[in-house]
Amino acid sequence: MSAATPAHDDAQTQDPIEEVTKYAPLVIPVAGGVLIFLLAFIAVFMA
């Protein structure tokens, strides 16, 4: 490897935020469903 060859290519690096936001349309409704289930379970358990 010559000195002019870069060790890594900055143009190919991925933004970590973009990697996470790909899954947002799936994760947000699932998390909402789990939250509603937990709140309903607590309400029934406390009643």
Domain ranges of the chain: 23-47
CA 35/CA 43 separation, integer angstroms: 12
pLDDT-above-90 percentage for the chain: 51
pLDDT at 46: 94
Average pLDDT over residues 21-26: 92
pLDDT at 15: 87
Average pLDDT over residues 18-28: 92
CA 23/CA 27 separation, integer angstroms: 6
pLDDT at 3: 61
Predicted confidence (pLDDT) at residue 9 exceeds the cutoff of 70: no
Give the pLDDT band (50/70/90) at residue 7: low
Residue count of the chain, please give it. Answer: 47
